[in-house]
Amino acid sequence: MADAPELIRARPVPRPTLWVWAAVVLVLAAMLVNSLLTNPNYRWDVVGQYLFDPRVVAGVGWTLLLTLGAMVIGIVLAVASAVMRMGTNPVLRAVSTVYIWFFRGTPVYTQLVFWGLLSVLYPRLSLGIPFGPEFFVFTTADVVNATVAALLGLGLNEGAYLSEIVRSGLNAVDDGQWEAASALGMRRSTTLWRIIVPQAMRVIVPPTGNETISMLKTTSLVLAVPFTLELTFVTNAIGNQNFLPIPLLIVAAIYYLVITSVLMVGQHYLEAYYGRGFDGNDSATASTRGMSRKQQAILAARTTHADPYLDVTP
Partner 1 sequence: MTDTTAKIQIDGVHKFFGELHVLKGVDLHVEQGEVAVLLGPSGSGKSTLLRCVNGLEEFNAGRIRVDGELVGLREVTRRDGSVELHRRTDADIARQRSRIGMVFQRFNLFPHQTALGNVMEAPRKVHRLSRGEAERRARELLERVGLADRAHHYPAQLSGGQQQRVAIARALAMEPELMLFDEPTSALDPELVGEVLSVMKDLAASGMTMVVVTHEVGFAREVADQVVFMDDGLVVEAGAPDQVIGDPRNPRTREFFAKVL
Contact 170, 82 (CB under 8 A): yes
**Residue choice 71, 156, 298, 306 for contact with partner 1 (CB under 8 A):** 298
Question: By CB under 8 A, how many residues form the interface with partner 1?
Answer: 28
Rank residues 14 and 90 by Cβ distance to partner 1 and give the closer one.
90
Shortest distance in whole angstroms from residue 183 CB to partner 1: 4
In the complex, least distance from residue 303 CB atom to partner 1, rounded to whole angstroms? 5
Distance of CA 242 to the CA centre of its chain: 34
Burial, 133: exposed, middle or buried (Cβ in 10 Å; 0-12, 13-18, 19+)? exposed
Position 77, amino acid = L
Which one-letter DSSP state was computed for residue 193? I
Among 4, 7, 129, 183, which residue interacts with partner 1 (rule: CB under 8 A)? 183
Query: Residues 140, 182, 236, 260: which binds partner 1 (CB under 8 A)?
Result: 182
Contact flags string 141-180 toward partner 1, x per CB under 8 A: ---------------------------------x-xx-xx
Which residues in 238-297 contact partner 1 (CB under 8 A)?
293-294, 296-297
Quick count: other Cβ atoms within 10 Å of Cβ 292?
Answer: 12
Instruction: Answer positive or negative: Cα dihedral of 298, 300, 303, 304.
Output: positive
Binder among 12, 40, 185, 308 for partner 1 (CB under 8 A): 185
Choice between 156 and 196, CB closer to partner 1: 196
Q: Is 132 in the site for partner 1 (CB under 8 A)?
A: no
Which amino acid, residue 297?
A: A
Secondary structure (DSSP) of 230-259: SHHHHHHHHHHHTT-HHHHHHHHHHHHHHH
300 in contact with partner 1 (CB under 8 A): yes
What does DSSP say about strands 134-139 and 124-128: parallel, antiparallel, or unpaired? antiparallel
User: Nearest approach, Cβ of 94 to partner 1 (angstroms)?
Assistant: 20
| Cβ-contact 258, 145 below 8 angstroms | no
Calculated CA dihedral for residues 195, 201, 204, 210, nearest 10 degrees: 170
| Alpha-carbon gap, residue 225 to 70, rounded angstroms | 15
CB of 53 to partner 1, least distance (A): 49
187 binds partner 1 (CB under 8 A): yes
Going residue by residue from 188 to 227, which x/- string records binding to partner 1, judged by CB under 8 A?
Answer: x-x---xx--xx----------------------------
Measured between alpha carbons, how far apart are the two ends of the chain, in Å? 64
- Minimum distance from residue 196 beta carbon to partner 1 (Å): 10
Q: Please report how close the Cβ of residue 187 comes to partner 1 at its closest, in angstroms.
A: 6
Which of residues 51 and 92 has its CB atom nearest to partner 1 in the complex? 92
The continuous run of DSSP H or E covering 136 comes out as: strand 134-139
Cis-peptide, bond into residue 226, ω within 30° of zero: yes
Taking CB under 8 A as the criterion, which residues in 78-107 touch partner 1? 88
Query: Smallest distance from the beta carbon of 88 to partner 1, in angstroms?
Result: 8
> Residue 266 Cβ, how far from partner 1 at the closest point, in Å?
23
Which residue ranges make up the site for partner 1 (CB under 8 A)?
A: 88, 174, 176-177, 179-188, 190, 194-195, 198-199, 293-294, 296-301, 303
